Each structure stands twice: as C-alpha cells, then as structure tokens.
Amino acid sequence: MNFVGQFPAYRPRRLRQSAALRRLVSETQLNAAQLVLPLFVRSGRKVRRPIQAMPGVFQLSPDEILREATRAHHLGVPAVLLFGIPDKKDAKASGAYAAKGIVQEAVRLLKKELPQLLVITDVCLCEYMEHGHCGIVQQSRSGAKILNDPTLRLLARTAASHVEAGADMVAPSDMMDGRVRAIRGQLDADGFAETPIMSYAAKFASAFYGPFREVAESTPKFGDRRSYQMDAGNAEEALREVALDIQEGADIVMVKPALAYLDILYRVKTEFGYPTAAYAVSAEHAMVKAAAANGWIDERAVTLESLLAMRRAGADIIITYAAMDAARWLKEG
C-alpha cells in the first residue's frame, strides 16, 4: 500500500489531535478479558515459595492458588493456566495423571470455590519425570532417546484426568508428534467431546524458558529439548506444526515465546485465522522485572506496550505472568 501521491490531502496528524480522537481510530485494544495467568501449584498449606529469577511468581499450595485466582478473577482476568510441582518424580511421570495429583486437587478446589473462573491445565510430563524431559526416555549406548508414541498414552491419560477433575480446557505443551489427536481421542472416548484443546503448536526450543524451569523444577538432567521443540530460525516449520495441530483437533493454537516471535504469531494468525494465543514466557518477564528494579525502564509502560504488540501481531489470547498487574493498570487507565 502506497498512499503518498495517491491521496495528496492525507495528513496523519489530523487524527491525533485529541485522546478521544486517537481512541476512535485506534486499531488494537488490550483488555484484561484477553489475559491468562499461569500459576504453579505444589502440595501443602499456606505455602508461598518465591522464585529467585521471577519476582512476583510463587510456588503456591492449593489454598494459596485459590486466593491468587480469586484476586485475578476480581481484576477481570478470566482464566488461569495451572502447572504442577509434584512431591515425587519418577520415570513414568505417575504424578501427572494420578487422580489425587496436585493439579487435579487444585482444579477441584478452584472449580468448587470459583466456578466462573476458566481453569486451563498445562499437559506435559517434564515436571513429573525424574530426568526432566517431556516424554519417556530410553537410554542406550548411543545416548538417550525420547520415545514419541509411548509418551502419547501418558499425555492422553494426563489430559483426561485433568478434565475428570473439572478442567475447562487442556493445553498440551510437550511437542510430541500426534499428541493433539491422542488427547482428542481420549477426551471424546471419555465423554468430554465438548472440552477444548489449546495446543502449544509452535513452541520453539528457547533460552527464554530458563526461569520457568527453576519454578517448575523441570530442567532436563541431560541433553536438551531440541529433538522435540523447534529451531528458532524455522518459520515455515512453525506453520506446518500449526496446520498439523489444527488437523488433529486443536481449537486454539499457541505461539511461544511471544515477543521474539511476533512474526510467527502474525503469520499463524493470517494463515489460519484460528483463535491464537501468545505465551509471554518466563525470561520475557524476568528481563522486564530486572530492568525495572534497576530503574532503567518504566515497567508499566513497557509491559503494556509489549502486550499490545502481541495483540497487534495477531494474538487473541495472551498468557502472561504480568496478567494481574496489567489488569490493574488497564483498570486505572
């Protein structure tokens, strides 16, 4: 589009004369109803364990999760995304699909006490595996291998147990091939055909997940996640991953991380026109917090501008650790 010369009378400044006029012509809005707050649950009562690299983020016991979620709900944040930190880890991630697992317990409490809150659960095995990988590991002389297909059954079981406990939506983040189909099949078979899946569809192998692994206690004990997460340079592959998840039954697709991958977000939204989520991940949060603590940036302005940029790039939904702060700032105007 080249307006110059075509419309000689066009003067951009005319539309910037007042705040009311700027609002009338504003193309992108950010509001609390588009935000999702991630929460980390562990066993106990009155537990609020701070995380070194993520100021304001805690490992919380279920009673504290309820308090935090209630606060978010009152600020207009409609949804939370739950991650679990089990007491015990093993080689088959038993804690992930245990009926009395920590996520299942938190879901039951939240849905009982705060039924209007949308409860989304992260479906992955890494927090529950002793080795910290997202799938079943086979050790051999040539090294460790993640077994894709046997992992699918455990993921499907995990998702079904979350929904059984009352989860409104499941969000598989493992990046095994075929997991959305496996989960969809399991939920349908168990009578949960109406429960949607938000898939981490374009999830990159990213250094921006560093602080999260401290919170979730899910740092791989050996190797990395490059055999299942995507290379940072691959945009076409991201589109193929998203297409596949949609074919397999994903209702919402996610791009992760957010700020460094806005081009991916834009392409996913324009290519598929699906409800699209962006996950502003742990290091994105940590960087803002660190710079703000040093007085180098205006935390509120930088946060709101970043979230708005994600919306402009195509995000319908933004998962962010700053959800409550942003909701409060938006309310203050």
Helix then strand then coil, % of the chain, to nearest 5: 45, 20, 35
CB of 302 to ligand PBG, least distance (A): 18
Distance, CA of 45 to CA of 1 (rounded, Å): 59
Do residues 174 and 155 lie in contact, with contact meaning Cβ atoms separated by under 8 Å? Answer: yes
Residue 32 touching ligand PBG (CB under 6 A): no
Q: Which 3 state secondary structure label does DSSP give 178? A: coil
Total residue count of the chain as it appears in this document: 333
| Contact pick of 109, 119, 126, 197 for ligand PBG (by CB under 6 A) | 126
203 is catalytic: yes
Q: Which of 112, 145, 203, 289 is catalytic?
A: 203
Among 108, 213, 312, 328, binds ligand PBG (CB under 6 A): 213
CB-based contacts of 72: which residues, under 8 Å, 6+ apart? 37, 80, 117, 323, 324, 327
Q: Which residue is nearest to ligand PBG (CB)?
A: 212
186 or 282: CB nearest ligand PBG = 282
Residue number, 145 or 190, with CB nearest to ligand PBG: 145
- Whole-angstrom distance, CA of residue 82 vs CA of residue 79: 10
Residues 177 and 139: their CA atoms lie apart, in Å, by 20
Instruction: Candidates 173, 186, 303, 306: give the one binding ligand PBG (CB under 6 A).
Output: 173
Q: Which stretch binds ligand PBG (CB under 6 A): 3-11, 12-20, 121-129, 239-247?
A: 121-129
Q: Is 41 helix (H, G, I), strand (E, B) or coil?
A: strand
Taking a C-beta distance cutoff of 8 angstroms, is the pair 108, 165 a contact? yes
Number of residues that bind ligand PBG (CB under 6 A): 12
Our measurement of the distance from residue 237's CA atom to the centroid of its chain's CA atoms, rounded to an integer in Å, reads 20
The answer to whether residues 30 and 325 touch, using CB atoms and an 8 Å cutoff, is no
The residue among 75 and 278 lying less far from ligand PBG, judged by its C-beta, is 278
Binding track over 60-99 against ligand PBG, x by CB under 6 A: ----------------------------------------
Burial label for 279, CB within 10 Å (0-12, 13-18, 19+), is: buried
**Strand segments (E) across the chain:** 35-42, 48-50, 58-60, 79-85, 118-123, 136-140, 143-147, 169-172, 198-203, 252-256, 276-280, 317-320
Query: Which residue among 37, 134, 137, 254 contacts ligand PBG (CB under 6 A)?
Result: 134
State in angstroms the smallest separation of the CB of 99 from ligand PBG.
Answer: 22
Nearer to ligand PBG, 114 or 302 (CB): 302
Q: Are 190 and 163 in contact (CB under 8 A)?
A: yes
Q: Decide if residue 228 touches ligand PBG (CB under 6 A).
A: no
Task: Considering only residues 273 through 302, tell me which ones interact with ligand PBG, judged by CB under 6 A.
Answer: 281-282
Which residue, 113 or 237, is less far from ligand PBG as judged by CB?
237
Task: Specify the stretch interacting with ligand PBG by CB under 6 A; choose among 158-166, 205-213, 247-255, 266-274.
Answer: 205-213
136 binds ligand PBG (CB under 6 A): no
Between residues 150 and 191, which has the closer beta carbon with respect to ligand PBG?
150
Applying CB under 6 A, which of residues 40, 58, 128, 209 lies at the interface with ligand PBG? 209
- Whichever of 65 and 280 has its CB closer to ligand PBG, that residue is 280
Distance from C-alpha of 242 to C-alpha of 237, rounded to nearest angstrom? 9
Residue among 256, 269, 289, 331 flagged as catalytic: 256
Q: Name the residues annotated as catalytic.
A: 203, 256
The residues binding ligand PBG (CB under 6 A) are 122, 124, 126, 134, 173-174, 209, 212-213, 225, 281-282
